[in-house]
Structure 1
Amino acid sequence: MKQIGGGHETAPAFDAIQADVGKRLDDVAKILAGALVTVAGVITALGLTSDLVFVALNNDSWPIYVASLCAILAIVCSIVALLIHPTKRGNLWETVVLVVGVILYMVALSVAVVGAAKAAGGNGRPTISNVELEGPRSRLKLSFSVRADGVETWATVGVYVVAVDEKGNSLDGPSDLYASSLRPDDRGRIMQNVNMPVTAARDAWGLEIVAITAGGSDECEAKVVRGATCTTIQLP
């Protein structure tokens, strides 16, 4: 019902409008309440499994932390918005809170995509496994496996086998006993099984296998993200 002379809506009509605005804002708040679930869904859809999440956290993958924090703050904003009374001033404050919540929500989704892409790509560090020596010293055969995940398309992994003395120092020689430069497949993976004779290292104390990522450090004990992977095995 309207006033005859003033042209303004009565208090009940105004309250109805405020209530309707408040309801719409509450709907937005309820959407933000599922921010963490949505972010988790985006990460899962991009192929980031629970195992890779732990890998990302172990590697200090900051996007995962930031996405989770922003999603939690978006949920807090939604709860605060739902608790605000739908008055004229209340709707104003609810709008401000929800705008902040929406910004946090969008940041969480954006950073989640970056984090998922970074973690799903792995770290490119090679590993050496299944190291075995077989046969008498005069006819020794060395076998081992090299694996790396998340290697960038342009990168390579260099694999070397060198003869070493008791202190781990490389022995002088014309060349390495084995040297190989491996490139990743279309999925960024490197898997190589090596089986080689080691007759040229009869006077050595042992053999050292080194796998180095392109652009990484060649020092076995270096505390860097892309450090070399080294394995030493004593000759019989």
Structure 2
Amino acid sequence: MRVTSVIRSLVLLLTLLASWFLMQTYFQHSWKAISLRSWLGATKKPSSERLPRHKCGNQKSCPQNYFAFKIISGAANVVGPSICFEDLVLMSSVKNNIGRGLNIALVNGTTGQLLKTDAFDMYSGDITKLQTFLQGIKRGTLVLTASYDDAATKMNDKVRAYFTELGSSHVGKLAFRDNWVFLGAKGLLNKSPFEKHIKNDGETNKYDGWPELLEMEGCAPRKMD
């Protein structure tokens, strides 16, 4: 009887020890797992603290009565330009509505409605077509323009004068393979603040025969004047 009692006691003790060991191991690993998940979770910003996405991917949002836009010129003769307005891509390689030369989108300056897009090849002699296009722009229309490859070849004084009337300060000196992005308006009383121009210079060009691309974003007021 004594031997049996001793054996039972030993078995009970071993059972208790095994149970204690299993519980310790389980809870210890669970604690580590929970702690690891909590730690990883703590590194993520709450949704309320995440940076908001602005229209056209711009760095900031626009106030009321302003339109968000982003214009990117072409990169050499390889990567085409893109024009975004109010978070809608108007022209791009993906939309397959761009071409080398000048890429222009017309937008209603009051409603923001897209009116027309067109691309003008300045090598093949689209200059007459471009003149007709620019001459037909109605007052109050926003004009978003991006160069690709070369925009100045065969550009005559008449075309330059049309863009000057739209508010451009740089079109008069636009030369072979210069990069140019511009947003103006028909009936603009002053020069447009939305324009960038970079010269084609063999010593500073980012690409072999072309300067780096230009990117311009901002907020255009309704009925620019």
User: What TM-score results when the alignment is normalised by the length of structure 1?
Assistant: 0.26
Between Structure 1 and Structure 2, whose CA radius of gyration is higher? Answer: 2
User: What TM-score results when the alignment is normalised by the length of structure 2?
Assistant: 0.27
Name the structure, 1 or 2, with higher relative contact order (CA <8 Å, separation 6+): 2
Looking at secondary structure, tell me which structure has more helix per residue.
1
